[in-house]
């Protein structure tokens, strides 16, 4: 390793944690071991997303023995995406790494991420080669979802790339400028561009506890992804509306001709009833799609902060860099 007189490059590691008391210490140990000996100044920033267990206490205890460990505690649970956002807002390093506290993202891969960054990559993404004990249902629905999303949106999102990333400071600054409420960071990473590199890894089983994302959560996550990254469903409802109105008009003409020319009044009731219910179905569906987008506009227009900070214990930040055009974390309660 070369000995440099220049100050070491800095790397901040952002770790969202929600009820992960049993994982924090193991995470810390494996991560510091994986990075030991590398010529960088590291900090580990845990973002406690409103945990109700001892997660924050575990992080604070680590911080007392290792000054590189910091904690940001949210006032309540704001979700994984908000926790990652807070970490990106606070980080103040040449590169930022994000990974899960449950050790499903092996920290031993980080030297490879850093090497790719040193070779010029601006955004390094971990891509899952072997999924852990993920159920067949979760794997299948996720694969189908990404295929669908990529078909209808202009940003291409790599399937199997969760939030296991290394971002150059440039990318972090770019992402800080996107303050949308309805956050889907995987889409945002793809949208911002930059030189991207993918690194494969084998996902491990969760160290302790269970996943916080059930099928319903995944469904809402998917809906958020679609409505924030594609307007195709809106357009689709217009097309379906047009087609169905055309058909309905044709049927109206047919009904009038039947009545006036052939005096057939009672016959056709079945088709009429069928048509009415079909049309109401299409209308409700269209209204639902509109409602989803309108709801999103409403959320955005409130311009609420993406998270609220209750407590922050941060390792020393290099003061001059803090003025780098970033918004301070919102801590107004
Ligand atoms: N997480 C969080 N807030 C939440 C849910 C999860 O910060 O509301 C964290 C969690 O502690 C973990 C990461 O996000 O570090 C991924 O969550 P999880 O393991 O539950 O999701 P999965 O890996 O099953 O998709
Ligand atoms: Mg997990």
Name the residue ranges covered by the structural domains of the chain. Answer: 9-211+305-313, 232-302
Q: What is the pLDDT of residue 316?
A: 73
Contact between 79 and 184 under an 8 Å Cβ cutoff? The reply is no
Dihedral angle over CA of 67, 69, 75, 76, nearest 10: -160
Q: What is the pLDDT of residue 320?
A: 41
The whole-angstrom separation of Cα 87 and Cα 47 is: 7
The whole-angstrom separation of Cα 12 and Cα 23 is: 19
Q: Among 74, 100, 126, name the best residue to mutate to test ligand 1's pocket (greatest count of ligand atoms within 8 A of Cβ).
A: 100
Whether the CB of 21 sits within 6 Å of ligand 1: no
Percentages of the chain per state (helix, strand, coil), in multiples of 5? 50, 15, 35
Determine if the pTM surpasses 0.75.
Answer: no
For residue 206, report the distance from its CA to the centre of ligand 2, in Å.
6
Q: Among 20, 78, 81, 102, name the best residue to mutate to test ligand 1's pocket (greatest count of ligand atoms within 8 A of Cβ).
A: 102
Closest ligand 1 atom, CA of 20? Answer: 11
Q: What is the pLDDT of residue 132?
A: 64
Contact between 57 and 26 under an 8 Å Cβ cutoff? The reply is no
Whether the CB of 82 sits within 6 Å of ligand 1: no
Q: What is the pLDDT of residue 5?
A: 61
| Per-position pLDDT tens, the chain of length 333 | 455 567 788 999 999 999 999 999 999 999 999 999 889 999 999 999 999 999 999 999 999 999 899 999 999 999 999 999 999 998 889 999 999 999 889 999 999 999 999 999 999 999 988 666 667 777 788 788 888 878 877 777 777 888 999 999 999 999 998 888 777 888 888 888 898 899 998 888 777 777 777 777 778 778 877 877 777 777 777 778 778 777 877 777 777 777 777 776 666 666 777 778 778 777 877 887 888 888 788 778 877 888 899 888 888 755 444 434 444 444 433
Whether the CB of 49 sits within 6 Å of ligand 1: yes
Length of the chain: 333
Residue keyed to tokens 């997660």: 55
What residues are neighbours of ligand 2 (ion), with CB under 5 Å? 102, 104
Q: Which one of the ligands is nearest to 76 CA? A: 1
Q: What is the pLDDT of residue 321?
A: 46
Q: What is the pLDDT of residue 166?
A: 96
The whole-angstrom separation of Cα 15 and Cα 32 is: 13
- Name the architecture of domain 9-211+305-313: Alpha-Beta Complex (3.90)
Nearest CA to ligand 1 atom 8: 79
For residue 102, report the distance from its CA to the centre of ligand 1, in Å.
8
Two tokens, residue 254 = 């047919």
The whole-angstrom separation of Cα 190 and Cα 185 is: 9
């Amino acid at each position: 390793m070369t000995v440099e007189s220049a100050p070491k490059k800095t790397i901040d590691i952002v770790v969202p944690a929600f009820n992960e008391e049993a994982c924090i210490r193991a995470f810390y140990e494996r991560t510091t071991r994986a990075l030991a000996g590398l010529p960088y100044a590291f900090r580990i920033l845990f973002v406690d997303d409103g945990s109700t267990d001892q997660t924050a206490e575990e992080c604070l205890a680590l911080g007392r023995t290792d000054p590189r460990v910091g904690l940001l505690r949210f006032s309540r649970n704001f979700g994984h995406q908000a926790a990652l956002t807070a970490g990106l807002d606070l980080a103040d390093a040449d590169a930022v790494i994000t990974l899960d506290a449950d050790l499903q993202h092996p920290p031993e891969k980080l030297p490879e991420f850093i090497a790719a960054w040193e070779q010029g990559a601006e955004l390094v993404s971990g891509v899952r080669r072997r999924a852990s004990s993920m159920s067949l249902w979760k794997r299948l629905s996720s694969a189908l979802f990404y295929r669908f999303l990529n078909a209808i949106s202009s940003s291409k999102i790599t399937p199997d790339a969760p939030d296991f990333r290394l971002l150059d400071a440039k990318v972090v600054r770019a992402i800080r400028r996107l303050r949308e409420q309805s956050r889907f960071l995987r889409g945002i990473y793809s949208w911002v561009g930059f030189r991207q590199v993918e690194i494969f890894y084998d996902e491990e089983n969760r160290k302790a506890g269970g996943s916080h994302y059930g099928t319903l959560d995944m469904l809402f996550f998917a809906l958020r992804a679609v409505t924030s990254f594609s307007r195709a469903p809106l357009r689709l409802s217009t097309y379906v509306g047009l087609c169905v109105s055309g058909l309905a008009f044709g049927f109206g003409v047919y009904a009038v001709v039947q009545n006036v020319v052939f005096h057939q009044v009672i016959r056709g009731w079945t088709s009429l009833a069928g048509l009415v219910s079909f049309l109401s179905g299409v209308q409700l569906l269209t209204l639902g799609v509109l409602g989803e987008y309108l709801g999103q506009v409403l959320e955005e227009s409130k311009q609420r902060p993406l998270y609220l900070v209750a407590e922050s214990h941060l390792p020393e930040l290099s003061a001059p860099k803090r003025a780098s055009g970033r918004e301070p974390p919102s801590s107004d309660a």
